Chain A
Amino acid sequence: MKSKVLTVEHLNVAVEDRTLIKDLSFSVYGGALTCVTGENGVGKTTLVKALLKCKRHSTKQVHFLVRPDEVQYVPQFRNVDDDYPLKIKDFVSLSLQNSFLPWLTKSEKNRIQKVLEMTKLTEIENEPLGRASGGQKQRAYLAQALVTDPKLLILDETTASLDKESRIYLLQVVVDIIKRTGAAVMFITHDPELIRRFGDYNLEIANHHGVMHEVKGDQASC
Chain B
Amino acid sequence: MLEYAFMRYGFIASFFISILCGFMGVFVVSRRTSFFTHTLSEIGFAGAAFGLFIGTSPVIGMLIFTILSSLMIGTVGNKVSRRESSISVFSGLFIGLGILFLSLANTQSSYATNILFGSIVGIGVNDLKTLITLSVIIIIAILLIYRRLKYNSFDGTGSHFNAGYDTAISIIFLILLASTVSVTAQIVGSLLIFALLTIPASAAKFFVHNVWGMIFLTFIFSLVGTWAGLYFSYITDWPVSFFIAAIESAFYLVAISYDRLKNHD
Cβ–Cβ contact B155 & A102, under 8 A: no
Chain A interface residue count, CB cutoff 8 Å, equals: 31
Is A26 part of the binding interface, using a Cβ–Cβ cutoff of 8 Å?
no
CB distance from A57 to the nearest CB of B (A): 12
Cβ–Cβ contact B161 & A75, under 8 A: yes
| Residue ID in chain A nearest B32 by CB atoms | A79
Cβ–Cβ contact A72 & B162, under 8 A: yes
- For window 137-190 of chain B, which residues contact chain A by CB distance below 8 Å? 143-144, 146-148, 150-151, 154-159, 161-164
Taking a contact as CB atoms closer than 8 A, the residue among A52, A94, A101, A103 that contacts B158 in the complex is: A94
| Residue ID in chain A nearest B152 by CB atoms | A94
Cβ–Cβ contact B151 & A95, under 8 A: yes
- For window 24-61 of chain B, which residues contact chain A by CB distance below 8 Å? 30
Is A87 part of the binding interface, using a Cβ–Cβ cutoff of 8 Å?
yes
The CA of A173 and the CA of B120, in the complex, are separated in Å by: 57
Q: In the assembled complex, which residues on chain B have CB atoms less than 8 Å from the CB atom of A91?
A: 154-155
A78 in contact with B30 given A86-B211, A90-B209, A95-B162 (CB within 8 Å): no
Q: In the assembled complex, which residues on chain A have CB atoms less than 8 Å from the CB atom of B158?
A: 75, 78, 94-95, 141, 144
- For window 129-148 of chain A, which residues contact chain B by CB distance below 8 Å? 131, 141, 144-145, 148
Cβ–Cβ contact A131 & B263, under 8 A: yes
Cβ–Cβ contact A100 & B150, under 8 A: no
Taking a contact as CB atoms closer than 8 A, the residue among A68, A77, A86, A100 that contacts B154 in the complex is: A86
Cβ–Cβ contact B147 & A87, under 8 A: no
- For window 109-139 of chain A, which residues contact chain B by CB distance below 8 Å? 126, 128, 131
Cβ–Cβ contact B161 & A102, under 8 A: no
Q: In the assembled complex, which residues on chain A have CB atoms less than 8 Å from the CB atom of B214?
A: 85
The CA of A68 and the CA of B208, in the complex, are separated in Å by: 34
CB distance from A121 to the nearest CB of B (A): 15
Chain B interface residue count, CB cutoff 8 Å, equals: 27
Q: In the assembled complex, which residues on chain B have CB atoms less than 8 Å from the CB atom of A87?
A: 209-210
Q: Is chain A's interface secondary structure helix, strand, loop, or mixed overall?
A: loop
- For window 37-75 of chain A, which residues contact chain B by CB distance below 8 Å? 52, 56, 68, 72-73, 75
Taking a contact as CB atoms closer than 8 A, the residue among A85, A103, A145 that contacts B209 in the complex is: A85
Is A83 part of the binding interface, using a Cβ–Cβ cutoff of 8 Å?
yes
A102 in contact with B146 given A78-B155, A91-B155, A144-B155 (CB within 8 Å): yes
Cβ–Cβ contact A97 & B151, under 8 A: yes
A99 in contact with B147 given A75-B161, A90-B211, A91-B155 (CB within 8 Å): yes
Cβ–Cβ contact B157 & A96, under 8 A: no
Q: In the assembled complex, which residues on chain B have CB atoms less than 8 Å from the CB atom of A56?
A: 164
Q: In the assembled complex, which residues on chain A have CB atoms less than 8 Å from the CB atom of B164?
A: 56, 68
Cβ–Cβ contact B143 & A102, under 8 A: yes
Cβ–Cβ contact A75 & B157, under 8 A: yes
Q: In the assembled complex, which residues on chain A have CB atoms less than 8 Å from the CB atom of B157?
A: 75, 77-79
| Residue ID in chain B nearest A85 by CB atoms | B205
A100 in contact with B30 given A78-B158, A144-B155, A144-B158 (CB within 8 Å): no
- For window 205-247 of chain B, which residues contact chain A by CB distance below 8 Å? 205-206, 208-212, 214
CB distance from B252 to the nearest CB of A (A): 13
The CA of A78 and the CA of B156, in the complex, are separated in Å by: 8
Cβ–Cβ contact A96 & B210, under 8 A: no
Task: Give 13 A-B pairs besides A78-B157, A131-B263 with Cβ atoms closer than 8 angstroms.
Answer: A56-B164, A75-B158, A78-B158, A79-B156, A87-B209, A94-B155, A94-B158, A95-B163, A97-B147, A97-B148, A99-B147, A101-B147, A102-B147
CB-CB nearest 5 A-B residue pairs: A85-B205, A102-B146, A87-B209, A73-B161, A94-B151
Name 13 interchain pairs, CB-CB below 8 A, sorted by A: A56-B164, A68-B164, A77-B157, A83-B205, A85-B206, A85-B214, A90-B209, A95-B158, A102-B146, A103-B212, A128-B209, A145-B162, A148-B162
